[in-house]
Structure 1
Amino acid sequence: MPPDLPPFTDALSRPAEGGSTLPFRPWPSLVIFDCDGVLIDSEIVVCRLTAEEFTRLGYRVSTEDVIARFAGRPEREMIADVEADWGRRVPEEFFVSIKARVQQAYATELRIMPGIVDVLDRLGTAACVASSAYPEKLRLGLETVGLYGRLAPDVVSASVVAQGKPAPDVFIYAAGWMRTPIPECLVIEDSVAGVRAARAAGMRVFGFTGGRHCAGGHRERLLVAGAEQVMESFGELQGLVPAAFWG
């Protein structure tokens, strides 16, 4: 962790020079949630469909491979990697088919992450979303589970920045959007790329392994990437940052 970041605290004031007390906001003053695999249990669905479509078109890859290589990264970067490995362009058929299949799967398979509604109900600090998903998919997922209305307009897609995760751009943009200093931000991330992006942005980050795509060893990978803590469920969050919650 960068040495200049503040420690966890529930305090509402701190001593200033000369012994006086200055008010300050408890850390964190902003919680930045990733979307896929954090707010919605979508990674397992999308990665399975992606693997099926690539394999059908001749680029053989498993669901586990897609999770390991591309989870948390923007689609445009996944496509660039596949094309470089495959030695050919991904056909337009892929994009048409995957969009239709994701829409259908979201309507029947998508689940909201257990405990997130309670967290949002009791969170006493600002919150926003910073995701690698393109805006239409991001909105579709959040609307399907009933979260878009309560989080919009503070929903940021990496499509608005130059580089996706693991570059820090989307998190820096989100902090600016929310007018919050970098050291006051806490990121909740399920992917190695996302954890690295948060750390590169100078933010503190908790890993999350509550999604169905998080197989054995994922907790350790998030810690190695730089996560301070790793949660298996959102029930753990208040105990880790009590100052961010009401009551």
Structure 2
Amino acid sequence: MPQPDLVIFDCDGVLIDSEIIAARVEAEVLTEAGYEISPEEIAALYSGLNFSEILLRVEKVAQIPLQASLIDRADAIIDKRLKDVRAIEGVTQAVAAVKVPRCICSNSSAERLKMTLGLTGLDRFFVDRVYSALSIPDGKPKPAPDVFLYAAGQMKANPANTFVVEDSVHGIHGAIAAGMRVIGFTGGAHSYPSHSDILTEAGAETVINRWRDLVPVLDALSEWAEA
């Protein structure tokens, strides 16, 4: 049976149930700053982006200036609330069952990744194979492909034989731009009714909402590529 060179996991909203925490905080901060938005809208429109990128996009849409100090305010609140973050149900068993090389590519900072992966116990599955788009040389955050290509280079993987598990349109666009294949994931608390359709439209080959489906889907898609 053919095997992938590498499986890349997004972190927030895929491995850990943190996207809903961030969406709630970001909605609070933006609403207080004069741009009323709900956590559900944050999740649907901006999931996968760091808050600085969200601010830039909101400024363009709303055509109102937003203070850069909002980034530090949101980050401080999110870090405090992430102390209670949990791994998404079934992820430990699913990651352990992936026998090919695996790593994480995220828009979160290296410091936040270290904290949340440590709190959930998932750090033991990735060790030093955790790549923050904010820390790689000359890297840009998703939807740019930089962090995916950097990880593939570090892991000596062929991008065309690499699978990425993503919960956001922006992450999917970045992975596809890197020449990788994508499995969408909708098992996080931030998911919404049209989430699966949107990920498919963005380019995911298939979408799962239960971690126990990951390995069978990887096997099926790997065989399909060789057919």
Match for 2:100 among 105, 125, 129? 125
Pick one of 19, 27, 47 that aligns with 1:71.
47
State yes or no: 1:202 paired with 2:172.
no
Measured in 2, the distance between the counterparts of 1:140 and 1:147 equals 10
CA shift digits 1:115-161 (9 cap, x unpaired): 11112222211000001112222222212211124312111111124
Deviations 1:180-208 (A, max 9, x none): 11112100000111111111111111000
Deviations 1:99-124 (A, max 9, x none): 3321221123x120111111222221
C-alpha distance after superposition, 1:187-235 (max 9, x if no partner): 0000111111111111111000000111101101111111011001110
Alignment of 1:131-210 (within 5 A): 131-159=106-134, 160=136, 161-210=138-187
Match of 1:62 in 2: 38
Higher Cα radius of gyration: 1
Q: Which amino acid aligns with 1:223?
A: T
| Residue in structure 2 matched with residue 214 of structure 1 by the alignment | 191
- Is 1:228 equivalent to 2:210 in the alignment? no
Give identity over the alignment, percent.
38
1:241 aligned residue:
218
Structure 1 length as normaliser, TM-score? 0.82
2:11 is aligned with 1:35: yes
Secondary structure of residue in 1 paired with 2:86? coil
The answer to whether residue 56 in structure 2 is matched with residue 98 in structure 1 is no
Structure 1: tracts of 5 or more residues without a match: 1-9, 11-25
Length, aligned pairs only:
218
1:75 to partner: Cα distance: 3.0
TM-score, structure 2 as length reference:
0.89
Amino acid at match of 1:101: I
Distance 1:77 1:99 in 2: 13
Q: Which amino acid aligns with 1:134?
A: S
Deviation per CA, 1:45-100: give whole Å up to 9, x if none: 111111001112222221122112211123332222233434324242x2343233
